[in-house]
Structure 1
Amino acid sequence: MALHLQEAAALGVVLRPMSDADLPFTAALYASTRLEELAPVPWPDTVKQSFLAQQHAAQHAHYQQHYRGMHAMIVERAGLAIGRLYLYEMPAEVRIVDISLMPDARRHGIGAALLRDVLAAAAPAGNSVTIHVEKNNPARTLYARLGFTILDDDRGAYDLWEWRAAA
C-alpha cells in the first residue's frame, strides 16, 4: 500500500521514516498521551517520568517484535515533529499500530486527515483497516464517524475496530 497524503498534506503535514534518533521524541509523545491518566497517581514527577520512559521502551520493543516490517513514520508540520503513524500491512488488512499527536497538534483535524488518507490508500485493494483503541479513548467518536465499527470488544482495556471499503 502506497500512502500518499492528500488531506493531511492540505494541512501542511508530511511523513518521514522514523529512525532511532527519533526515540526521544516518541518517548515524549508517549508520555504526553499518558499524563492525564497518571495525574491522580501520588508519585513524584521523577518517578512518573521514569515509569513513562520504561513503558515507552516496552511498547517500542513490543511493536518491533510483533509488527516486524511496519512502516514507522514521524508526522511533521512546518518542519517540526508533531506525531507518529505506524502502519503494518497484511495480505487483506492494514493495521494502524499507532497514531498519536502531541497535545498542541490535537483537535485541529490532523489525525482525521491522516486516517482518511490511510483509508483512501487501503480502499482500492479492498483492504480493511484495523486499530486497537482503548475503551476510554476520546478518539473513539472520530473512528465511528469515519466508519469504523467494533470488531472485537473482548480485549481487556482495548477494542479492535475495523473499517471496510464500500463494496
Structure 2
Amino acid sequence: MTFKLRSATDDDIDFLMRLRKQTMSEHLDEAGWFMDDSGHLERVLIHFEDCHLIKVGEEIVGMVKYLNQVDKIFVMQLQIQAKYQRQGIGREVVEYLIELANTNSKHVELHVLKANPAKHLYERLGFTVYDEDKLEFHMSTQQ
C-alpha cells in the first residue's frame, strides 16, 4: 500500500472544500446538479467523522469518506487531486476498502454520478450496477 489514511480534522475543511470543487464541480454541472458553496460545505461536513485524508508520503493527495456498516462498507465520497489522478491511487484506495470488506464478510457499495468516468474504474474492480436514479448509478461488489 503506497498511501496512508488519517482522520480529517476541522483544520482540513478548507482543503476539503477546494478538493471537492476541483474534483466534483465539472461532473455535478454536467449532471445538472448545480451546487453553491453552501451545498459543497454540507457534503464536506456530512459524516465528517468518517472522512479520511489520503496521504502519499507527506503529501495529502485526496480524501475518502466511507461508512463501515453492519453488512457493508458504503463509500460516500472519493476524491483525488487532479495532479495525482490516473496514478493508481484511487484504485488502491478502493482495493483497500474491498479487502477490508471481504475480511469482515461484507461487500462495498457506492453511488457514482452518471457523468463521472470513475464508473469505469469501479467496473474494472468488480462493481456492478444494481440500481440507478436520475443522476447516479448505484454500484456494489455483491453479486
TM-score normalised by structure 2 residue count: 0.87
1:97 maps to: 76
User: For residues 51-130 of structure 1, what are the structure 2 equivalents within 5 Å?
Assistant: 52-61=36-45, 63-64=46-47, 71-130=50-109
Residue 18 of structure 2, aligned match among 28, 31, 42: 28
SS of structure 2 residue aligned to 1:136: coil
Distance 1:100 1:37, change over 3 A: closer
- The CA deviation at 1:53 is 2.6
Q: Is the 8 A contact 2:73 2:106 kept in 1?
A: yes
Runs of 4+ aligned structure 1 residues displaced above 2 Å come to 34-40, 51-55
**One-letter code of the match for 1:74?**
L
Matches of 2:78 and 2:135, distance apart in 1: 17
Q: Structure 2 vs 1, CA of residues 115 and 37 (structure 1 numbering), >3 Å: closer, same or farther?
A: closer
1:164 aligns with 2:138: no
Query: What SS does the corresponding residue of 1:151 show, helix, strand or coil?
Result: strand
1:23-68 per-position Cα deviation (integer Å, ceiling 9, x unaligned): 000001011013535899xxxxxxxxxx64322212134x23xxx8
Cα distance in structure 1, aligned partners of 2:120 and 2:128: 11
* 1:156 shift after superposition: 1.9
* Deviation larger for 30-39 or 129-138: 30-39
Check whether the contact 2:17–2:44 (CA below 8 A) recurs between aligned residues.
no
After superposition, the Cα gap between the structure-2 partners of 1:37 and 1:127, relative to the gap in structure 1 and judged at 3 Å, is: closer
Contact 1:31 1:52 in 2 (8 A): no
- Partner SS, residue 24 of structure 2: helix
Cα gap change, 1:152 to 1:72, in 2 (>3 Å): same
Q: Secondary structure at the match of 1:137?
A: coil
Unaligned runs of 5+ in 1: 1-8, 41-50
Taking a change above 3 Å as real, the CA distance of residues 85 and 71 of structure 1, as seen in their structure-2 partners, is same
Q: Pick the structure with greater CA Rg.
A: 1
Percent identity of paired positions between Structure 1 and Structure 2: 22
2:107 and 2:141 in contact (8 A); partners too: yes
Residue type at the aligned position of 2:5: L
Distance in 2 of aligned mates of 1:98 and 1:127: 19
